[in-house]
Amino acid sequence: MAQGERPVELDSPAFTRIPPWVKAKLSPIAIEKIQKVYDFVEEECIPAEPIMKAQIADVGKRWTTQPLMGELRDKAKKAGLFNLFLPNHFEQSPGLTNLEYSCCAELMGRVYWAQQTMNCHAPETGNIELLAKYCNEAQKKKWLQPLLEGTASSAYSMTEPDVASSDATQIGCRMFREGNEYVINGRKLYGNCIWNTENKFFILMVCSDPENPNKWARHSMVIVPTNTPGITQVRNLTIMGYDHAPEGHGEYLYENVRIPIENMILGEGRAFEIAQGRLGPGRIHHCMRLIGQCERAYELALIRCIDTRKTPRGKLIGQFDSNIERIAQMRLEIDQARLVVLNAADTMDIHGNKAGRYAIAQSKILIPNMATRVIDECMQMYGGQGLTQHTPLPEMWTYARFVRIADGPDSAHRHQVGRDELKTAEGFAERNKEYRRKYLKLVEKMGGKDETFWGVTPDV
């Protein structure tokens, strides 16, 4: 291949939206996986969307995983598309970087549940990494291996209705030790429904030492089997009216729930250490998929623009100047957002998750907000139909709005970014003092009178 040329396969539609600087970093295995994910989503998932909905519409089937999902998961596993998110230190890892996986995740985002067919869905991705990083070998064999194989699912349970859960030090679900067991009491929101029997266990954050003077050492993480006596699912929580069956979001009551002490992860009082380790690349997986979701919504808007059945005042929807500008603005915003996510992924690859904190927060703030705006505009172009089940747009918008809260509200991320930025202010003040010193020397050398702008010029 001559210098400057690119592999023929990079001209595939799977790579159309990938920026040149990212293409230059893609390994041969990444190119193969990206193409396979694209083909799988386009050929197996998108055509099956109505069937997937129909299979849980039957009476008694609402909380049972669709047969088609099982078939597609088997196909994905055989095609080598399972667990693509896994970092390199996993034996089952395909060896993708965060940047390379971002390209795959965007394609998965074109269908809400496509990620699940490839075992790359929340909360499984975060739970798998947590269990692999912090559990002992016995725990890994019992709880991690079924998740990796896709024979069981799990839930992450942290949020509570009675405290401000965005400040996790307030988590109040209590746990105390009694002999060789832990006893748990409290209320939780958002763990996946146990009405779906494939959900085998919770990773639960509890307050185990409320009197500890160090508020960061008061909490623990434990594994709670979903069939443990004392757990009651009060209801399924709808999100903007959607029940998200067959996984859902449960509201739970724990009443004297007993688990063996062997179900403690890492050790008592180490929940925050574990939580920070869990929230690595997984924090932007939602953002990666939202880009793909926006592309799908945008394509629907383009189709609406050329629909000859829709000609208000004798013009196509896409012939109105306001809609031409809408289409342009949406294209610009999606492409801009993609660069933000890819930068976050690349930063983590090069400098590590901790160094990527700002880039991760940037993605968490900007991408869901962009997605809600773009999908809202797409709904607007569809008029009344855009608010109904005639298109997937309302569900897309709901997911984007949900992500503004998931893994921490975007306001918390803004606070983090703003606080970190304010720490740089003193450095800029010193720099501007140096500018002023140099300016005064120039005035003295060249003659004339110095001019001071009070309020913006630091004292020297």
Residue-wise DSSP of 343-357: HHHHHHHHH-TTTTH
446 phi-psi bin (left φ>0, alpha ψ -120 to 50, beta other): alpha
Picking from 377, 305, 304, 303, the residue whose alpha carbon sits closest to that of residue 334 is: 377
Give CA–CA dist 3/188, Å, rounded: 58
How far is CA 289 from each of CA 111, 336, 387, 388, rounded to the nearest angstrom?
A: 9, 15, 22, 23
The residue type of 332 is L
**Residue 7: its pLDDT value, please?**
57
Helix 285-305 and helix 98-108, axial crossing angle in degrees, nearest 10: 40
Give CA–CA dist 158/413, Å, rounded: 18
Measure CA of the first residue to CA of the last residue in the chain; give whole Å. Answer: 61
List of residues 6+ apart from 400 with CB closer than 8 A: 290, 293, 368, 371, 372, 375
Give CA–CA dist 285/106, Å, rounded: 9
Picking from 214, 203, 219, the residue whose alpha carbon sits closest to that of residue 170 is: 219
Give CA–CA dist 432/116, Å, rounded: 53
pTM summary value: 0.92
List of residues 6+ apart from 226 with CB closer than 8 A: 155, 194, 199, 200, 201, 202
Strands 181-191 and 153-157: unpaired
Are 243 and 227 within 8 A, CB to CB? no
Residue with tokens 């962009």: 370
> Cα 46 to the chain's mean position, in Å?
21
As to burial, measured by CB atoms within 10 angstroms (0-12 exposed, 13-18 middle, 19+ buried), residue 352 is exposed
**Residue 3: its pLDDT value, please?**
47
> Cα 448 to the chain's mean position, in Å?
59
DSSP assignment of 175-213: EEEETTEEEEEEEEEEEPPTTSTTEEEEEEEEES-TT-S
218 phi-psi bin (left φ>0, alpha ψ -120 to 50, beta other): alpha
Q: What is the pLDDT of residues 366-395, one digit of tens each?
A: 999 999 999 999 999 999 999 999 999 999
**Residue 2: its pLDDT value, please?**
47
Picking from 455, 456, 304, the residue whose alpha carbon sits closest to that of residue 383 is: 304
∠ CA 352-354-359 to the nearest 5 degrees? 85
* Ranges in the chain, pLDDT < 70: 1-8, 278-280, 454-458, 460
Q: How many CB atoms lie within 10 A of CB 39?
A: 16
Q: Is the dihedral angle over the CA atoms 363, 287, 242, 405 positive or is it negative? A: negative
> Which H or E run includes 254?
strand 250-260
Give CA–CA dist 108/92, Å, rounded: 20
